[in-house]
Amino acid sequence: MRKVVTVRGGRFDLDSVRPRIEAIVAHFDQYLDEYPVKTAKSKHAVMGPVAKILERAATRKWDAQSLTGYALRVHEMNPKARGYLSPTARQALEKGTTQLVELCRTIPVTAVTKVVERIDYSLYYVRRKKGIEWLEKTRQMFIRFLQEKYHSNFHELVEAWGEKDAKDLKDFGDVRYPSIQSEAYKRASDNKKADIDAFWRQYQDQAIPEEEENND
């Protein structure tokens, strides 16, 4: 069933602007691919400046240029961004913001909240899905790293890590993401910590780290 928003003088069909919503989500998603926060658990953190863009665009009081400038400043203030944003990502941010402002101003004011909410959660879903996929890719990289080090001999891994750290493992495929922030890492054996640390030193430019909770 198609969702509708009841407004004075008629009904607004959300699905009538679905292509525009999808285009906006795609632009913001392209921009966020370059935002330094990748795997945060909170919606606010994983959405970065886009969360603020959506909030302010919904008021219909901001023009696209001012709102884009505000978002760029938020981006630059994130220390992990190091003040850099590629031209491609900047253009994606500009397009998403411009199309969002135009959409909010052309639909009935009573429909704005629902439309922005649709964009908000659609984008959040895309970003969380990507974050989970990135973490799994890193986990698989860690498994290959261990297989190479231990000559694909699982018993060598168990012997090195100790019974406590290997008790829930049946084979290499059960090895978890190599977090350096978890309590499990703090309690791990010296050999397991050494393997995790060595992995990050070797693959720091390819692997995706978990975001700290205080980044939320």
pLDDT, tens digit, for every residue of 113-172? 999 999 999 999 999 999 999 999 999 999 999 999 999 999 999 999 998 999 889 999
Per the domain annotation, does 1 fall within a domain?
A: no
Q: Residue 214: which residues within 8 A CB-CB, separation 6 or more?
A: none
Mean pLDDT across the chain, nearest whole number? 91
Q: Which domain holds residue 60?
A: 10-133
Between 2-6, 95-99, 161-165, the lowest mean confidence (pLDDT) is in 2-6
**Interhelix angle 87-106/18-32, nearest 10 degrees:** 150
The whole-number pLDDT of residue 39 equals 87
8 A C-beta contact, residue 192 and residue 165: yes
Q: What pLDDT score was predicted for residue 8?
A: 53
Same domain, yes or no: 145 and 122 = no
pLDDT for residue 5? 54
Same domain, 79 and 157: no
- 40 and 72 part of one domain: yes
CA distance 148 to 150: 6
Q: What is the pLDDT of residue 122?
A: 97
Whole-number pLDDT of residue 11: 82
Task: Enter the pTM of the model.
Answer: 0.85
CA distances from 30 to 24, 79, 92, 93, 170 (A): 10, 20, 6, 8, 39
pLDDT over 60 at 7, yes or no: no
Q: State the DSSP code for 10.
A: E
Residue 177's pLDDT band (cuts 50, 70, 90)? very high
Same domain, 26 and 78: yes
Q: Which of 84, 114, 133 is the last residue of a domain?
A: 133
The tokens describing 118, both together, are: 């649709």
Task: Assess whether pLDDT exceeds 70 at residue 83.
Answer: yes
**How far is 48 from 31, CA to CA, in rounded Å?**
10
**Same structural domain, 127 and 166:** no
Residue with tokens 């959660």: 121
Q: Total domain count for the chain?
A: 2
| 126 and 28 in a common domain | yes
Residue 48: CA count within 13 A, CB half-sphere: 29
User: Do residues 5 and 110 touch, judged by C-beta distance below 8 A?
Assistant: yes
